[in-house]
């Protein structure tokens, strides 16, 4: 495949540093290469909308689409408006996960503001203000994503607890480095979101490229005609990809774009 018509990129440790906003010079040049070729550049991230917008500003995009909260939020890049929102019923999710993860902290995204939290999460992963509330108050919300943080436990422990778990109406994604679970409505994934966009744009499935590094990118890499895992990605993500590029620290996304685009 030469010159993909639709390029979908993860943000953290793919396009920009974790919780950062600025791509390297090499990555910035690669993004320009995609746009100069007339291809659609799409970002799909687990970040909140509030955490995604500063990256779009830094890159300087003036049009197109980005998806936040693992596909639950669609952003019109030209207007910075949230044009589509798929919510999760916290009243259904919280009782089940509270039992699975005793002592866990919960947060619900509040679009454009920050998060409601049962306890302060500290500096990792939550953009905007953190407003304390009771678990009962949190259960009354319908956010785009619910976040469960299980301090003093490992990713492996959290993974063991959710192995084989099925909860009607709910889906989730586990972070591959921290005991951090993102809960969404069933079926809401990055792949689900970008497939809808692909159909809108009329891009052939065989002309799609996706690059990512996390567990929440597995379906995305499997969806794309060519799925590329970042070099630092865990084995499950690498197995889902068609090939593996250099790690983030070596501008792997720029390498992947260079190898995926050909010019006459």
Contacts of residue 180, Cβ cutoff 8 Å, sequence gap at least 6: 125, 147, 148, 149, 150, 174
Q: Are residues 180 and 220 in the same domain?
A: no
pLDDT one-digit tens code per residue, 91-147: 999 999 999 999 999 999 999 899 999 988 865 668 889 999 999 999 999 999 999
Closest to 147 in 3D by CA, of 107, 112, 99: 107
Q: Are residues 79 and 202 in the same domain?
A: yes
Q: Are residues 99 and 165 in the same domain?
A: yes
pLDDT for 108 equals 96
Closest to 230 in 3D by CA, of 241, 24, 220, 69: 241
pLDDT top residue among 263 and 11 = 11
Q: Are residues 102 and 136 in the same domain?
A: yes
Answer whether 88's CB lies under 8 Å from 146's CB: yes
117 vs 53: CA distance, rounded Å? 21
4 vs 6: CA distance, rounded Å? 6
Quick one: tokens of 97?
């996960």
Tell me the CATH number at 238. 3.40.50.1000
pLDDT one-digit tens code per residue, 149-208: 999 999 999 999 999 999 999 999 999 888 999 999 999 999 999 999 999 999 999 999
The answer to whether residue 242 is domain-embedded is yes
> Domain span at residue 140?
90-185
For 26-40, what is the mean pLDDT? 97
Q: Are residues 97 and 181 in the same domain?
A: yes
pLDDT for 264 equals 32
Q: Are residues 80 and 208 in the same domain?
A: yes
3-state secondary structure 106-164: EEEEECCCEEEECCCCCCCCCCCEEEECCHHHHHCCCCCCEEEECCCCCHHHHHHHHCC
147 vs 69: CA distance, rounded Å? 10
Average pLDDT score, the chain: 94
pLDDT one-digit tens code per residue, 65-74: 999 999 999 9
Give the rounded percent of residues in the chain with a pLDDT score beyond 90: 90
Whether the per-residue pLDDT at 52 is higher than 70: the answer is yes
> Kind and range of the H or E element at 94?
helix 90-100
The answer to whether residue 1 is domain-embedded is no
Quick one: tokens of 131?
């407003």
The residue from 124, 150, 185 where one domain ends is 185
Q: What is the pTM of this model?
A: 0.94
């Amino acid at each position: 495949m030469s010159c993909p018509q639709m390029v979908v990129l993860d943000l953290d440790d793919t396009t920009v540093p974790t919780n950062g906003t600025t791509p390297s010079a090499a990555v910035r040049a690669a993004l320009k290469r995609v746009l100069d070729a007339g291809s659609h550049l799409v970002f799909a991230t687990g970040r909140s909308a509030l955490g995604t917008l500063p990256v779009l500003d830094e890159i300087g995009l003036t049009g197109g689409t980005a998806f936040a909260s693992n596909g639950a939020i669609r952003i019109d890049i030209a207007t910075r408006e949230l044009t589509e929102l798929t919510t999760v019923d916290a009243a259904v999710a919280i009782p089940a996960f509270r039992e699975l993860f005793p002592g866990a902290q919960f947060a619900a995204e509040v679009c454009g503001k920050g998060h409601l939290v049962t306890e302060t999460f500290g500096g990792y992963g939550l953009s905007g203000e953190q407003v304390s509330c009771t678990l009962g108050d949190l259960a009354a919300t319908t956010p785009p994503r619910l976040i469960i943080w299980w301090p003093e436990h490992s990713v492996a422990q959290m993974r063991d607890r959710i192995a084989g778990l099925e909860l009607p109406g709910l889906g989730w994604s586990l972070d591959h480095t921290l005991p951090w679970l993102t809960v969404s409505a069933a079926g809401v994934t990055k792949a689900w979101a970008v497939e809808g966009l692909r159909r809108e744009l009329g891009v052939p499935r065989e002309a799609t490229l996706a690059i990512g590094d996390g567990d929440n990118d597995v379906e995305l890499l499997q969806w794309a005609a060519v799925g590329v895992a970042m070099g630092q990605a865990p084995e499950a993500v690498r197995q889902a990809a068609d090939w593996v590029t250099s790690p983030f620290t070596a501008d792997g996304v720029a390498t992947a774009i260079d190898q995926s685009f050909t010019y006459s």
